[in-house]
């Protein structure tokens, strides 16, 4: 039985600063030691919680939904759909003293009225600066009166976190008020994908993460934010499962984008299709253990090709750290800012020698131009928004960046397209026998006055042709 993923809402506290607060931890790695006595076992987390709690907030998001009446009464023409207000509760973390708050995207998604309640119970209306479903992060802005400086939580994005480190999760589970749970880091760089849109390398913890903890803080013993709690894997559907937090390094990238006025997070790409090295591959390549990412294909003139990578190379390290698999390599590259250099240690396909190359981080190219349009009129695409497919659009949609060119459906609203079953991510291949290579081709094809429509759509690698009346 596959363990269900449970998404949950959460809260956190912080220390003042206009820019993103810096961690309190020392630059030198701290020495770790197990408790040496019964007295040491009784040590309290209170000093750490006292510093962090003021920066943990509660977040509520309200939206109006349409509630259908009982189908039985509808058969007699009785009853009309009713509107009701749905509300989600979660947590958040203040990361800048001027009112920048981080939470999970799923906490505020679809919210028409978002309220942030501080630790002292004051409430403020919040606006969304940036919502990023791919990382499940949302950046909010509140405006405290008189330019008040709010308490903030410093982000520790160093690589010093280790499996076994003590951590605390702070949030507002079940809406009962702020609570704290403790545990340890049980794993690092866990690659999983709760949203089906390209996973991330999460911090795994056994600290209890309850409903309402989503968006809350995972902090270390220095009181610094090392992650934002996001979801759990649970067989029972309750909080008795494995918790996952989005690392602070990812959080900082999204915050920087939002504060800088960006509407979407720019994710650098490798420009290569890679495969995780299996035990069989490792034997054939002469590697001592099955580790690394095998370069299976190169995008013409992409970052990997320009860095000198070749088909058959195996990337063993990135930024001086081992590359466990293909997903870990992708995560490392995406976590860089465009323009930064990334050092890669590569086992060459020819000769088996190791070589270090520098890859320049850059966004996937938007070529051809997006040319996004909403189709309307008496045709099966009415209500669909379409765009030219490029590596940038494919990356945004969570698709294979090597997907052939064409036209992709980016959204489906009320209309004929929704009624006939078109979905976001469908590729339009042909209309009435005409091959569709661009949005301009599709616009011209749908402008025709015809009695029937023969349409070919590609979905999940399979092409389906259907005929609709005009």
Q: How many whole angstroms separate alpha carbon 445 and alpha carbon 428?
A: 12
Rounded distance between C-alpha atoms, residue 423 and residue 385, angstroms: 10
How many Cα atoms occupy the beta-carbon half-sphere of 259 within 13 Å?
18
At residue 174, what are phi and psi to the nearest 5 degrees? 60, 5
Contact 197, 215 (CB under 8 A): no
Tokens matching residue 154: 């410093």
Active-site residue identified among 136, 325, 382, 441? 136
CB atoms within 10 A of CB 119: 21
Quickly count: other Cβ atoms within 10 Å of residue 279's Cβ: 9
Both tokens assigned to 287? 């590697």
106 is catalytic: yes
- Phi-psi domain of 461 (left: phi exceeds 0; alpha: psi -120 through 50; beta: other): left
Q: What is the 3-state secondary structure of the chain?
A: CCCCEEECCCCCCCCCCCCCCCCCCCCCCCCCCCCCCHHHHCCCCHHHHHHHHHHEEEEEEEEEEEECCCHHHHCCCCCCCEEEEEEEEEEEEEEECCCEEEEEHHHHCCCCEEEEECCCCCEEEEEEEEEECCCCEEEEECCCHHHCCCCCCCECCCCCCCCCCEEEEEECHHHCCCEEEEEEEEEEEEEECCCCCCCEEEEEECCCCCCCCCCCEEECCCCCEEEEEEEEECCCCCCCCEEEEEEHHHHHHHHHHHHCCCCCCCCECCCEEEEECCHHHHHHHCCCCCCCEEEEEECCCCHHHHHCCCCCCEEEEECCEECCCHHHHHHHHHCCCCCCEEEEEEECCCCCCEEEEEEECCECCCCCCCCCEECCCCCCCCCEEEEECCHHHHHHHCCCCCCCCCEEEEEECCCHHHHCCCCCCCEEEEECCEECCCHHHHHHHHCCCCCEEEEEEEECCEEEEEEEEC
Catalytic residue from among 214, 230, 239, 330: 214
Q: Which of 106, 165, 382, 441 is catalytic?
A: 106
Whether 136 is catalytic is yes
**Catalytic machinery residues:** 106, 136, 214
């Amino acid at each position: 039985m596959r363990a269900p993923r449970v998404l949950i809402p959460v809260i956190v506290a912080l220390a003042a600063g206009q820019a993103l607060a810096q961690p309190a931890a020392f630059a030198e790695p701290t020495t770790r030691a197990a408790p040496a006595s019964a007295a040491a076992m009784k040590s309290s987390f209170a000093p750490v919680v006292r510093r962090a709690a003021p920066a943990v907030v509660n977040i509520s998001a309200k939206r109006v939904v349409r509630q259908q009446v009982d189908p039985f009464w509808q058969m007699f023409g009785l009853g009309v759909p009713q509107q009701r207000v749905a509300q989600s509760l979660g947590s958040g973390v203040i990361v800048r003293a001027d009112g920048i708050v981080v939470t999970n995207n799923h906490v505020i998604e679809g919210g028409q009225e978002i309220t942030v309640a501080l630790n002292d119970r004051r409430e403020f209306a919040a606006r969304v600066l940036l919502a990023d479903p791919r990382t499940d992060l949302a950046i909010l802005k509140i405006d405290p009166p008189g330019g008040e400086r709010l308490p903030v939580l410093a982000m520790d994005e160093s690589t010093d976190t280790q499996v076994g480190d003590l951590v605390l999760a702070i949030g507002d589970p079940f809406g009962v008020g702020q609570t704290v749970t403790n545990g340890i880091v049980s794993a690092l760089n866990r690659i999983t994908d709760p949203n089906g849109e390209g996973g991330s390398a999460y911090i795994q913890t056994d600290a209890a993460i309850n409903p309402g903890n989503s968006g809350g803080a995972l902090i270390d013993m220095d009181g610094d934010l090392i992650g934002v709690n996001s979801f759990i894997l649970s067989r029972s559907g309750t909080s008795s499962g494995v918790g996952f937090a989005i690392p602070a390094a990812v959080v900082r990238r999204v915050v920087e984008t939002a504060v800088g006025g960006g509407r979407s997070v720019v994710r650098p790409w490798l420009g290569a299709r890679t495969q995780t090295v299996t035990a069989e591959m490792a034997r054939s390549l002469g590697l001592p253990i099955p580790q690394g990412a095998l370069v299976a294909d190169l995008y013409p003139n992409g970052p990997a090709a320009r860095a000198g990578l070749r088909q058959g190379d195996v990337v063993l390290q990135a930024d001086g750290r081992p590359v466990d698999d293909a997903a870990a390599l992708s995560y490392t590259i995406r976590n860089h800012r465009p323009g930064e250099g990334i050092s890669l240690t590569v086992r060459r396909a020819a000769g088996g020698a190791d070589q270090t190359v520098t890859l320049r981080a850059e966004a996937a190219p938007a070529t051809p131009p997006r040319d996004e349009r909403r189709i309307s009129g008496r045709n099966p695409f009415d209500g669909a928004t379409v765009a030219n497919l490029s590596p940038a659009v494919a990356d945004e949609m969570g698709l294979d960046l090597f997907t052939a060119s064409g036209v992709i459906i980016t959204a489906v609203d009320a209309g004929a397209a929704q009624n006939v079953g078109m979905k976001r991510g469908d590729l339009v291949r042909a209309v009435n026998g005409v091959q569709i290579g661009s949005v301009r081709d599709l616009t011209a094809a749908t402008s025709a006055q015809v009695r029937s429509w023969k349409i070919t759509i590609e979905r999940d690698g399979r092409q389906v042709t259907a005929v609709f009346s005009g």
